[in-house]
Amino acid sequence: MSDFKGNREHWASRVGFILAAAGSAVGLGNIWRFPYMTGEHGGAAFIVIYLLAVFLLGYPLMVNETLIGRASQRDPVGAFKFLSPGRSWWLVGALGVFTGFVILSYYVVVAGWSIAYIYKVFIAVSTPGINHEAVFKSLITSVWEPIIWAAVFMILTISIISAGVVKGIQRWSLILMPILFIIILILIIRSNTLPGASDGLFYYIKPDFSHVSGRTFLAALSQAFFSLSLGMGVFITYGSYLKDHDEIPGSNGWIITLDTLVALMAGFAIFPAVFALGFKPAAGPGLVFITLPAVFAQMPLGIFFGVLFFILLAIAALTSAISLLEVVTAWLMDEKGWSRKKASILMGIIIFIAGIPAALGYSIFNGFSFPGLGTDILDTYDWFANCLFLPVGGLLAAIFTGYVWGTKQAIDEANKGKTGLAIGKFWSFLIRYIIPLLIFGIIIMGIYDSFKR
């Protein structure tokens, strides 16, 4: 294997890395999943548990993956080969690349719906008496529409990735992330200035410990994984574009803060408006694609805010999708010597094709599901990624550092850069003992939970 240090692209600035990685973390998981999970699992009680999950599990794991990437200057497969030559640990990287492939294949389908809604919400809000559920159903049960929108979204993703780390990922993250932040702020102000908004705030943040059970912890831990883009090589890949003395623990701190902030903000934008206009919060896609358009239809200037909301959703999805495609692209470039263009275009097309069954899951393949493993094809892809691949990937990466590469090496690598924030013994303790136990628990409980229902 050649040494990539010489000609590898690197982030042009610290902010570039932070915003690109925050772009990966901030996605559909923050904007539709976090708010309804919080509402369902006891409001502030869930938020406290989620924050614990982020600090005790998410942050140490993010640092771990970033360090593996920076130390090796390679894609996830090459990283493990480099740090543990001649052994099978590279399979952990391979699992990450595979997981990226699976997640992206269904992520583009939901992202495609979001793009479609930028104009559908316009029509829905301006047509009095329209049935919002029927609008959404007609989109997802159509054969061609979901496929076409997923293709549009994939083309956008490919065009950013093929432009490179600095000219593609970093450049677009620096443009899109501030826009995303501003849109969310505008929506929060609109939502909270509606009469009756406080009912929604109450629903969202009132701590209700009667809703807290083992499931709540499971939900918080797996949400932290997905939301922070952990367990599949995104941070190994993005970390590999950091230079030798770039600071890591502080940058990772920024990334988890931004991700958590946007998740919390999404709830502050959504629930006050939903309650103020007399709706009940639904769960899952129903909240975003059916309830919210109905809410916008009742709201002064609803067309404007509705379109803005779906632009927000599409931007959040785009900056996450690029990180998923980058993992697969980096693997082909580093391990197989492919050019960036060839790798991103070809893999983009293959992943898009792999996602077609998920896109057809509500039309041609309607009713097709695996018992226990989700309610439809898209849900089944999501089940494998969320309940299995991500936690297993994170677990093995922690064990690798804890017992193979060595936490001492990792800590030295972390504290190389000048940093106000240093990691040490506590981090090592978490990585070696606490995190493997916690993740093991998540995996077992997740599987048990799915089959019990």
Contact characters 3-32, ligand PFF, x per CB under 6 A: ---------------------xx-xxxx--
Question: Which residue among 113, 226, 381, 400 contacts ligand PFF (CB under 6 A)?
Answer: 226
Q: Shortest gap between Cβ of 96 and ligand PFF (angstroms)?
A: 8
Q: Shortest gap between Cβ of 406 and ligand PFF (angstroms)?
A: 26
Nearer to ligand PFF, 106 or 149 (CB): 106
Q: Say how far apart CA 133 and CA 142 lie, in whole Å.
A: 14
Nearer to ligand PFF, 145 or 326 (CB): 326
Q: Shortest gap between Cβ of 178 and ligand PFF (angstroms)?
A: 18
Q: Within 160-189, which residues bind ligand PFF (CB under 6 A)?
A: none
Q: Shortest gap between Cβ of 107 and ligand PFF (angstroms)?
A: 7
Tokens 């294997």 identify what position? 1
Q: Shortest gap between Cβ of 287 and ligand PFF (angstroms)?
A: 15
Question: Which residue among 38, 227, 240, 428 contacts ligand PFF (CB under 6 A)?
Answer: 227
Q: Say how far apart CA 348 and CA 14 lie, in whole Å.
A: 28
Question: Which residue among 105, 157, 170, 229 contacts ligand PFF (CB under 6 A)?
Answer: 229
Q: Shortest gap between Cβ of 30 and ligand PFF (angstroms)?
A: 5
Q: Shortest gap between Cβ of 172 and ligand PFF (angstroms)?
A: 15
Q: Within 279-338, which residues bind ligand PFF (CB under 6 A)?
A: 320, 323-324
Residue of 330, 156, 153, 181 lying closest to 265 (CA atoms): 181
DSSP state of 127: S
Q: What would the two tokens of residue 6 be?
A: 């010489």
Q: Say how far apart CA 77 and CA 327 lie, in whole Å.
A: 10
Q: Candidates 164-172, 221-229, 280-288, 428-436: pick the segment binding ligand PFF (CB under 6 A).
A: 221-229
Question: Which residue among 234, 264, 274, 398 contacts ligand PFF (CB under 6 A)?
Answer: 234
Element (H, E) at 109: helix 90-126
The dihedrals phi and psi of 104, each to the nearest 5 degrees, come to: -60, -35
Q: Say how far apart CA 272 and CA 205 lie, in whole Å.
A: 11
Nearer to ligand PFF, 103 or 219 (CB): 103
Q: Shortest gap between Cβ of 398 and ligand PFF (angstroms)?
A: 16
Q: What would the two tokens of residue 85 be?
A: 């030559």
What type of residue is 35?
Answer: P
Contact characters 101-140, ligand PFF, x per CB under 6 A: --x-------------------------------------
Q: Shortest gap between Cβ of 343 and ligand PFF (angstroms)?
A: 17
Nearer to ligand PFF, 32 or 400 (CB): 32
Nearer to ligand PFF, 73 or 320 (CB): 320
Q: Within 382-441, which residues bind ligand PFF (CB under 6 A)?
A: none
Q: Cβ neighbours of residue 132 under 8 Å, at least 6 residues apart?
A: 124, 290, 291, 293, 294, 297
Q: Candidates 228-236, 276-284, 335-343, 375-383: pick the segment binding ligand PFF (CB under 6 A).
A: 228-236
Q: Say how far apart CA 338 and CA 343 lie, in whole Å.
A: 6
Q: Shortest gap between Cβ of 415 and ligand PFF (angstroms)?
A: 26
Widest CA span in the chain: 66
Residue of 282, 269, 260 lying closest to 48 (CA atoms): 260
Nearer to ligand PFF, 153 or 275 (CB): 153
Tokens 């580093």 identify what position? 334
Radius of gyration, alpha carbons of the chain: 21
Is the alpha carbon torsion for 42, 43, 49, 54 positive or negative? positive
Question: Which residue among 232, 377, 392, 435 contacts ligand PFF (CB under 6 A)?
Answer: 232
Q: Please, what is the Cα angle at 51 between 382 and 312, to 5 degrees?
A: 55
The dihedrals phi and psi of 319, each to the nearest 5 degrees, come to: -70, -20
CB 345 within 8 A of CB 162: yes
What type of residue is 77?
Answer: V
Q: Shortest gap between Cβ of 375 and ligand PFF (angstroms)?
A: 19
Nearer to ligand PFF, 49 or 103 (CB): 103
Total interface residues for ligand PFF by CB under 6 A: 15
Q: Say how far apart CA 381 and CA 396 lie, in whole Å.
A: 21
Binding site for ligand PFF (CB under 6 A): 24-25, 27-30, 103, 226-227, 229, 232, 234, 320, 323-324
